[in-house]
Amino acid sequence: MEFAGARRPLYLSAPLIRFLRPSGSCSNPQHAQDQDHLMPIKSDKWIRRMCEEHQMIEPFESGQVRGGKISYGISSFGYDIRVAPDFKVFTNVHNVVVDPKNFDDRSFVDVHANECIIPPNSFALARTEEYFRIPRDVLVICVGKSTYARCGIIVNVTPLEPTWEGYLTLEISNTTPLPAKIYAGEGIAQLLFFEGDQEPETAYADRQGKYMKQVGVTLPRM
């Protein structure tokens, strides 16, 4: 299955296709009874309305910006986010152990620039230029952009949960044996918005999630 507007095909398993198929698109009577339990992907019209009326994404770009830049802004079924000029690049100078329960910030070197070089087979943390406010009945998934993916640069972001808000911390991996350049202020990944069949009983803000309203590049917390 391929989502229109995605930078490359998104292949889903048959059960997941049935789960994500928008309401009304099921042509098989056997699946009609499941229509009330689908989680449809949201279109550009919905994203634009939520941003204009509820500030879901700030700043919000209502079109696709290119012009010599790695594209960002709204697409048919998603939103291409930008990376800010704040990076933490992994270094082994201090030879510390990377421990998610007791993270040593000496593992990174801070870089504040419009371009960031990630060493071979290394990674960096960064943040988005956009601030997000996720609706209570929506889950957001982040996927990469083909421009970077075809260069061996992979962006990993965990799901944006219902009611979470803040600047998104990005994990950017250079899987190549060569240095890789990242351009601040330009597109870095794409967000896909999925609406649940009902609001969750407990959302991220309800349980006081540890990354709620995070600002800047945020390191692991316990």
Q: Tens digit of pLDDT for each residue in 144-163? A: 999 999 999 999 999 999 99
Helix (H) or strand (E) segment spanning residue 87 = strand 78-90
For domain 38-92+110-194, the CATH class is mainly beta
DSSP state of 113: S
Active-site residue, selected from the candidate residues 130, 171, 186, 195: 171
Q: Identify whether 58 is a catalytic site residue.
A: no
Given a cut of 70, whether residue 202 has pLDDT beyond it is yes
**Neighbouring residues of 147: CB distance < 8 A, sequence distance ≥ 6:** 7, 70, 71, 187
In this predicted model, what pLDDT tens digit does every residue of 6-24 receive, in sequence order? 444 444 444 444 445 544 4
Pairing of strands 180-183, 115-118: antiparallel
Residue 206 has which token pair? 């309800």
What pLDDT was estimated at residue 14? 46
Q: CA-CA distance, 163 to 177, in Å (whole number)?
A: 39
SS3 annotation, 157-212: CCCECCCCEEEEEEEEEECCCCCEEEECCCEEEEEEEEECCCCCCCCCCCCCCCCC
- pLDDT category at 34 given cuts 50, 70, 90 is low
